[in-house]
Amino acid sequence: MVINMSELPIAPIGRIIKNAGGLRVGEDSEEALRQMLEQYGDDISRQALLLAKHAGRVTVKASDIELAVKEIE
Amino acid sequence: MVINMSELPIAPIGRIIKNAGGLRVGEDSEEALRQMLEQYGDDISRQALLLAKHAGRVTVKASDIELAVKEIE
């Protein structure tokens, strides 16, 4: 599912790119990475919710996130 | 490579989980998702840097990020 909710602020995204190696960070690259990370976060979260419900819980736990990452890889 | 730089703020991470379906968001789940997204962002960024250098540029562009995502999937 494609989303465009822009929850993540742009400045830390730029730092993640900058930290990776020191090249200049184009503004469009920050927006591109933000969209990728929000999409990935949404995919993980949806799977984690299914896992939490499956376990009979109403709270998403770290173990749900961790298993969800393995499942969607 | 495992990183723990905590560039991303925790509140938007919690909203990504919350937006995915409305269950309660455990605090440890926010931290787990933050680590996953930062790791994924770092992996993408490192590959994007290689691609930018390969193209003879000193600036990371959106097209580098987009190709990097395809390559590391």
pLDDT score recorded for residue A67: 98
3-state DSSP of B21-51: CCCEECHHHHHHHHHHHHHHHHHHHHHHHHH
| Best to test chain A binding among B30, B35, B45 (most A CBs inside 10 Å) | B45
Task: Read off the pLDDT of each residue in A44-68 and give the average, rounded to a whole number.
Answer: 97
Q: Would the CB atoms of A28 and B53 count as touching at under 8 Å? A: no
pTM of the model: 0.90
Asked whether residue A1 carries a pLDDT value surpassing 80, the answer given is: no
HSE toward the beta carbon, residue B65, CA cutoff 13 A: 27
Over the stretch A30-54, which tens digit does the pLDDT of each residue have? 999 999 999 999 999 999 999 999 9
Distance between B19 CA and the closest CA of chain A, angstroms? 8
Q: What is the pLDDT confidence band of residue B23, given thresholds at 50, 70 and 90? A: confident
Residues 6+ apart with CB under 8 A from A31: A10, B62
Among chain A residues, the shortest Cα distance to B1 is held by A20
* Cβ count within 10 A of residue A46: 17
Instruction: Compute and round to an integer the Cα radius of gyration of chain A.
Output: 15
HSE toward the beta carbon, residue B47, CA cutoff 13 A: 19
Q: Which of residues 18-47 of B touch A (CB under 8 A)?
A: 19-21, 23-26, 28-29, 31-33, 36-38, 40-42, 44-46
Determine the Cα–Cα distance for residues A30 and A12; give it in Å rounded to an integer.
Answer: 9
Closest among B66, B61, B65, B72 to B45, alpha carbons compared: B65
**How far from the centroid of its chain's Cα atoms is residue A20's Cα?**
18
Nearest CB among B23, B26, B61 relative to A29 is that of B61
